[in-house]
Amino acid sequence: MTQTFTITTLNDWEALAKDIAKILVPGQIFALQGDLGAGKTTFVQALAAAMGSKSAPKSPTFSLMRTYSVKTTSGIKRLIHVDAYRIESDEDFRVLDLDEELAGGDAILALEWPERVEGWIKKHEKQVLMFSIVQEGETRHVTLEQI
């Protein structure tokens, strides 16, 4: 499954987030690729809102991980938002215990900079939806695919 979208406004991000929120299931990893400023965190904010979060996600660049309560019909109760930009190895990433978090059956993971933890992603590829953002001026071209 590969889908492409063109984003030109904040409303476009919100509409896309609502559509994607409907297809997510517990244990899924939503991997967001794109340059700095491409819109990864903006999309996670829209996704959290679409999933009923009362909190607006902030970039977890320095804290590495933030968790938000959500409410969906698919049983997702937590959105875990991780920014792997500062992660230097899969070992550094393992200390976050994300395998255990996802095994609980009530969470999804929104992972920015998945290319920084390729080994971990490869071990979980059946759970991964890859979300790639390419920026051209004010327009974003988004590709969503299951790997």
**Residue 101 belongs to a domain with what CATH number?**
3.40.50.300
At which residue do the structure tokens 């920015």 appear?
112
Mean pLDDT of the chain: 91
Are 45 and 18 in contact by the 8 Å Cβ rule? The answer is no
The count of other CB atoms within 10 Å of the CB of residue 136 is 8
**Residue 142 neighbours by CB under 8 Å, 6+ apart:** 4, 5, 6, 7, 16, 131, 132, 133, 134
pTM equals 0.91
7 token code pair: 């984003």
- pLDDT for the residue numbered 61: 66
Is the dihedral angle over the CA atoms 108, 113, 147, 39 positive or is it negative? positive
The whole domain housing 16 covers 2-146
Helix (H, G, I), strand (E, B) or coil at 104: coil
Strands 78-83 and 107-112: parallel
Q: How many domains is the chain built from?
A: 1
Residue 62 binned pLDDT confidence (cut-offs 50, 70, 90): low
